[in-house]
Amino acid sequence: MLYILPRSRTKFSGISSNKCLGLLVLFLLVWRSAETEVIGIIGSSVELQCDYPEEDSLSYNRNRILWQIKDKFSCYVAGYFPNENMEKHQCEEFKRRTLLRKPKRGSTSLQLSNISIADEFTYHCIIQKDINEEFQPIYQEFITLKVAANYSKPVITGPLQSGEEMTFMCNSSHGYPEQRLYWVNEMDNSTMNTTVQFTKELDGSFSVFSTLKMKAASYIKLRCTIEHKQLYQNITTTIDFKNSTNSPRIDNKQHNTAAFFSVAVVAICIILIIIWRIGKHYLQTTYTAPVEVINFQRP
């Protein structure tokens, strides 16, 4: 079953534009159909291919080609009817973003540019053929468009240390849809238990934040990875952390205070040494006045 426009050889003669969109005829025909799925990157262009399996070549002269959103009949994504201007029937959100490729042998395609999350639909390609001076449906295909966006390279921060425990954070942004984020301990190549939180941004994309808690160690090598299944892509960041002690201090305030007192003690010691050396030099120094010899002569 398929809902299509009333059949006509060239145009909707005697029927207004609004009525053409409203009067849909149900054809009970046996014809071929197929379903495919396409992945498109947000902000780029994607081509939806409609492959007619018969050997007959498609032609604008004897074929109608129509693209619409599945189960939406109020307007079209794009289309070609001989001697008809289809722009007036095009959905507003697709205007100036579509390009119908010239039909080749057995196939036709629609290019959709500047795609966004709002373009995620199942698109319906309908091909009609002029048979005995009437256009009849001969093929349909459903193409599901799934959009995706690359996540940014993960950023690892930390560690925050508390006693025998260390905490690392990993975050990434502007990806779509939600994907798996995981940590790997490269010391033994084990996957680690973490908490993961996704946040939906205003543009519909996602940011992800993950927290890893683990026992403190003198040497740690970690890997944070986002696995994007739609794009067959893994984005990874690795961190090497060397700790001078097995139980690092956590409280940064206490650590800074201890460092301040250490520097103060050293400074006081240096000052005392300088004073002592100056005093010692002063005590060892004597003053010798010049001797004036006076000769007295007898009268």
Q: SS3 string of the chain?
A: CEEECCCCCCCCCCCCHHHHHHCCEEECCCCEEEEEEEEEECCCCEEEEEECCCCCCCCCCCEEEEEEECCCCCCECEEECCCCCCHHHECHHHCCCEEECCCECCEEEEEECCCCHHHCCEEEEEEEEEECCEEEEEEEEEEEEEEEECCCCCEEEEEEEECCEEEEEEEEEEEECCCEEEEEECCCCEEECCEEEEEECCCCCEEEEEEEEEECCCEEEEEEEEEECCCCEEEEEEEEEECCCCCCCCCHHHHHHHHHHHHHHHHHHHHHHHHHHHHHHHHHCCCCCCCCCCCCCCC
- Residue with the bigger pLDDT between 202 and 289: it is 202
pLDDT at position 19 over 80: no
pLDDT, residue 207, reads 97
Q: What confidence tens digit (pLDDT) does each residue in 48-69 have?
A: 998 877 656 666 667 788 999 9
pLDDT at 245: 53
Q: What is the pTM of this model?
A: 0.65
Mean pLDDT estimate for the chain: 77
Higher-pLDDT residue of 146 and 22 is 146
Q: Say what the pLDDT of residue 256 is.
A: 46
In this structure, of 28-32, 101-105, 106-110, 113-117, the range with the lowest mean pLDDT score is 28-32
Q: How do residues 151-174 score in pLDDT, each as one tens digit?
A: 999 999 999 988 889 999 999 999
Question: Does pLDDT of 79 surpass 60?
Answer: yes
